[in-house]
Structure 1
Amino acid sequence: MGTEIADGVWRLDCGGVNAYLVSDDVPTLVDAGTPWDEDAIRDGLDDAGVEVSEIGRVLLTHYDLDHVGTLAALAPDLDAPVYAYGFDAQLLRGVRSPPLRNHKGLIQRLGGLVTDLPDLDVVGVRDGDAIGSFAAYHTPGHTPGHLAYVSEELGVALLGDLVSESDGELNESGWIISYDTAEVAASVRSLAERAPAFDVACVGHGDPLTADGDGELRRLAATL
Structure 2
Amino acid sequence: MATEIADGVWRFECRGVNAYLVFDDVPTLVDAGTPWDEAAIRNGLDETGVAVSEVGRVLLTHYDLDHVGTLAALAPELDAPVRAYGFDAQVLRGARKPPLRNHKGLIQRLGGLLTDAVDLDVESVGDGETVGSFTAYHTPGHTPGHVAYVSEELGVALLGDLVSESDGDLSPSGWLISYDTSAVAASVRGLAAGAPPFEVACVGHGDPLASGGGEALRRLAATL
The bucket for the TM-score relative to the shorter chain is over 0.9
Q: Which amino acid aligns with 1:204?
A: G
Equivalent residues in 2 for 1:102-181, closer than 5 Å:
102-181=102-181
Residue equivalent to 1:219? 219
Tell me, which stretches of 5 or more residues in structure 1 are unaligned?
A: none
Residue equivalent to 1:203? 203
Which contiguous aligned blocks of 4+ residues in structure 1 show a shift greater than 6 angstroms?
Answer: none
Cα shift at 1:8 = 0.3
* Per-residue deviation, residues 56-93 of structure 1 (Å, max 9, x unmatched): 00000000000000000001210100000000000000
Three-state SS of the structure 1 residue aligned to 2:176 is: helix
Three-state SS of the structure 1 residue aligned to 2:39 is: helix
Residue equivalent to 1:62? 62
TM-score by length of 1: 0.99
Separation (CA, whole Å) in 2 of partners of 1:136 and 1:114? 28
Q: Which amino acid aligns with 2:48?
A: A
Separation (CA, whole Å) in 2 of partners of 1:70 and 1:34? 6
Separation (CA, whole Å) in 2 of partners of 1:5 and 1:46? 17
Three-state SS of the structure 2 residue aligned to 1:223 is: coil
Three-state SS of the structure 1 residue aligned to 2:221 is: helix
Q: Which amino acid aligns with 2:193?
A: E
Cα shift at 1:117 = 1.9
Separation (CA, whole Å) in 2 of partners of 1:42 and 1:171? 30
Equivalent residues in 2 for 1:40-79, closer than 5 Å:
40-79=40-79
Q: Which amino acid aligns with 1:161?
A: D
Separation (CA, whole Å) in 2 of partners of 1:69 and 1:77? 16
Cα shift at 1:177 = 0.1
Is 1:39 aligned with 2:39? yes
Q: Are the aligned partners of 2:15 and 2:34 in contact in 1 as well (CA < 8 Å)?
A: no
Separation (CA, whole Å) in 1 of partners of 2:48 and 2:155? 20
Three-state SS of the structure 2 residue aligned to 1:12 is: strand
Cα shift at 1:118 = 1.2
Separation (CA, whole Å) in 1 of partners of 2:130 and 2:66? 25
Residue equivalent to 2:99? 99
TM-score by length of 2: 0.99
Separation (CA, whole Å) in 1 of partners of 2:29 and 2:103? 29
Separation (CA, whole Å) in 1 of partners of 2:211 and 2:22? 17
Q: Are the aligned partners of 2:15 and 2:33 in contact in 1 as well (CA < 8 Å)?
A: no
Q: Which amino acid aligns with 2:57?
A: R
The root-mean-square deviation of aligned C-alpha atoms, in Å, is 0.5
Separation (CA, whole Å) in 2 of partners of 1:48 and 1:163? 26
Cα shift at 1:101 = 0.1
Q: Are the aligned partners of 2:160 and 2:203 in contact in 1 as well (CA < 8 Å)?
A: yes
Cα shift at 1:15 = 3.2
Separation (CA, whole Å) in 2 of partners of 1:5 and 1:167? 16
* Per-residue deviation, residues 161-199 of structure 1 (Å, max 9, x unmatched): 000000110000000000000000000000000000000
Tell me, which stretches of 5 or more residues in structure 2 are unaligned?
A: none
Three-state SS of the structure 2 residue aligned to 1:89 is: helix
Separation (CA, whole Å) in 1 of partners of 2:48 and 2:4? 8
